[in-house]
Amino acid sequence: MPPVVPPFLVGLIAAPLAKRLLKPLMRGVVKTSVGIALEVKKATLEAGENIHDLAAEVTAEVVAAQIAAGDVDVPTGDGRPVAEGSAPKGEKDEAVTRAENEARAAKNRATAGAGKAR
């Protein structure tokens, strides 16, 4: 009859072996999980930034189109809107140019960020 080994002796022998094998495995699992979480966070932030850039570009285009069509009062330097017919032609041109420049800058930011994504 073979000798009977009590279960606690098996545990005393197996615990150090399990620790040596499982600790590196668990460390790798945790390290990989944290890396994936950071990559997802980075991708989410970039997507949000691209959406904000796109919204700014569209807003600038809409405002420029409204100003060009004369549907919007052009504000003066002191914050008061100028009546539609009383604004000098130069002020409307400056506002349209400013809106177009903002749209162009937003588009440049959007295309510059596209090269970073992989």
- 118 pLDDT above the threshold of 50: no
Prediction pTM value: 0.45
Give me the number of domains the chain comprises: 1
Q: Which residue has the higher pLDDT, 101 or 57?
A: 57
Residue 59 is assigned to a structural domain of this protein = yes
**Which pLDDT tens digit goes with each residue over 68-112?**
887 766 555 565 655 555 555 555 567 677 777 777 776 676 666
**Average pLDDT for 7-32:** 89
Q: Which residue has the higher pLDDT, 14 or 32?
A: 32
Residue 71 is assigned to a structural domain of this protein = yes
Burial of 16 (C-beta count, 10 Å sphere; 0-12/13-18/19+): exposed
Question: What pLDDT was estimated at residue 10?
Answer: 82
> Mean pLDDT for the chain?
78
Question: What pLDDT was estimated at residue 56?
Answer: 92
Question: What pLDDT was estimated at residue 44?
Answer: 96
Residue 72 is assigned to a structural domain of this protein = yes
Would you list the DSSP string of 91-107?
HHHHHHHHHHHHHHHHH
Residue 118 is assigned to a structural domain of this protein = no
Question: What pLDDT was estimated at residue 9?
Answer: 81
Residue 3 is assigned to a structural domain of this protein = no
